[in-house]
Structure 1
Amino acid sequence: MTRRYGVAIVGSGPAGLSAAARAAVRGLDHVLLEKTDHLSDTIFKYQRGKHVMATPVQLVLRSDLEFDAGRREDVLERWRSAADAFTVNVRFHAEVMSVEGSRGAFIIRLSDGGVVEAETVVLAIGTAGNPNRLAIPGAETVRIDYQLDDPREITGEDIVVVGGGDAGIENALGLADPELG
């Protein structure tokens, strides 16, 4: 079944949610396409209890949504509640495979065979969910995890955290003491 919208937004992270909220506030016929069964997959994949930062101070937000710092779970709940309050039209399990066309006549093909037509498309697919893969000989022969969901679930294992950036430090702290994660 094909449905035509004024605006189709691909990705439900902060940018996609903002675009969808603005479309809803303006009364535009819109759809927010999200490939998973929940909003903001990148932040959803952060480890449980992680402190999610707000926007950089030099970036002026023009969003109908609030972007306050807080625990991962609290931020996700605020965004879910806001999406409901703004009556954002979210279509979950809608993985976009291709976008074709031009202004006024886009065709979006989904992995389930569905098709969405839209006058305008907003691509808000982000980049934060793309980990740097370990590029060393033998990396494919050992267990390597690129995401730490809940450090409390990992016990009795020897673990090496590779990387000294923010994520590496947060993961190391979470593994050393799950209450710090």
Structure 2
Amino acid sequence: MDNLVAFIFAVIVTGFFMLSYLKKQKKIEQEALESAEKGKLRSDGPQSQHPHIDANYCIGCATCTLVCPEGDVLAMLGGKAVIVNGYKCIGHSLCAEVCPVGAITMVLASPSMGGDMAYLTPQYETITIDEGEIGGTVAKYPRQKLVMTSPVEFPMYGKFKKMQLSKEELIDFWHKVLERADFKVRQGEKVEDIKKGEDGIFTVMTPRGQYRTHSVVLALGKSGSPRKLGVKGEELPKVMYRLIEADHYVNKKILIVGGGDSAVEAAMGLGHQVGNKVTLSYRKEAFGRIKEGNTQRVQESIRKGKVKVVFNSIPAEFKENSVVLEVNGKQEEIPNDFVWIFAGGQPPTAFLKKIGIGFGNQDLTSTGSKEAKQAALAQA
């Protein structure tokens, strides 16, 4: 009799914990499905290097979903890991490193972006070119802007383990690495052309001279020249595309145009300066492609009144002392001293074609939303 009572008690306790576990798993998968839908609505999937998960090998351990520093990029659906917020992925590859069965490989962007992707073959040598100052894009960030990094080991220097730091700290670190390695840098030299001779040697041409080399690495990025909106008055000197020092602007009426990390960070930086009234205009109904940390910070800035966000709006005209916004089809004119536009850039596709790099669609992987949909169907 005692054994029967103990058995019934054990069944009840086990059943309670099993029901709790299943309920929790159902909630997690429901949130993952909602995230997948949100990802499909707000982006075209991963924008650069990102994970591709082979469902045939995935054992459902969920380790990959826990290590990503960018938040809920991956989630478990139907017992398999899938991409649910591909637009947040910036290619850390930590998920691929921790997968115990090698089910994750890092691939380039989705086929829909393949037309702007260089077509590479094993026969090509690697090539590197830079323009401007040391630090590139990071050097253009607002003062003290935090830069997300991942642990990395530099040859001839050692490990660098910081995950967050200011742009000044990062640039200072790079200078130390270059000094220790006695690395020769030529700044402010724009490459105009690259030609390969019959002897297999490349000639790199700049306004200052020519350089012969066995190999070249192109590290141009995708931003290129700032993308203009084509709005009346955009040629006014108060309209800019790059913010360097936010603290140079105080007691000003400012408009920021854009909905990415650069726009949000600029708005927050300017919003915390004395007397500034900052309005951020974004053409969509919500932010959908900014980092998790920026999402929290901008919400706090909005709550404190440091930044005013106008969704579903686009600039209609820039004037000397005001701007006209089109909000939900209606025009509103607001006082304005300065405008910053963060609408991305024109990629250096023309230059790449000029030097002989081919382009074409590359069906490298399926997008995250497709993986999520397949897993959801399999679960059903």
Same fold per TM (> 0.5)? yes
CA drift at 1:172? 1.0
User: Do 1:161 and 1:172's aligned partners in 2 also have CA atoms closer than 8 Å?
Assistant: yes
Aligned to 2:204: 108
Aligned to 2:140: 45
The equivalences for 1:118-137 within 5 A come to: 118-128=213-223, 130-137=225-232
User: Do 2:250 and 2:273's aligned partners in 1 also have CA atoms closer than 8 Å?
Assistant: no
The alignment's TM-score, normalised by the length of structure 2, stands at 0.35
Cα RMSD, aligned residues only: 2.8
Aligned to 2:212: 117
Compare 155-164 and 75-84 and name the one that shifted more. 155-164
Aligned to 2:260: 165
Aligned-residue identity in percent: 26
Greater helix fraction, Structure 1 or Structure 2:
2
Task: Say which structure, 1 or 2, has more relative contact order (CA 8 Å, 6+ apart).
Answer: 1
Compare 158-167 and 170-179 and name the one that shifted more. 170-179
Aligned to 2:187: 92
User: Do 1:104 and 1:120's aligned partners in 2 also have CA atoms closer than 8 Å?
Assistant: no
User: Do 1:105 and 1:117's aligned partners in 2 also have CA atoms closer than 8 Å?
Assistant: yes
Aligned to 2:339: none
Q: 1:124 to 1:136 in 2, by over 3 A?
A: same
Q: Select 2:128's aligned residue among 9, 12, 15.
A: 9
Match of 1:79, SS state, is helix
Q: Select 2:244's aligned residue among 149, 161, 164.
A: 149
The alignment's TM-score, normalised by the length of structure 1, stands at 0.68
Which whole-Å CA distance do the structure 1 matches of 2:189 and 2:245 have between them?
A: 26
| Structure 2, unpaired ranges of 5+ | 1-125, 275-296, 298-380
Which whole-Å CA distance do the structure 2 matches of 1:67 and 1:45 have between them?
A: 23
Which whole-Å CA distance do the structure 2 matches of 1:156 and 1:174 have between them?
A: 13
Work out the number of aligned pairs and report it: 145
CA drift at 1:168? 1.3
User: Do 1:104 and 1:118's aligned partners in 2 also have CA atoms closer than 8 Å?
Assistant: no
C-alpha deviations, 1:66-86, integer Å up to 9, x for none?
474310000000011111111
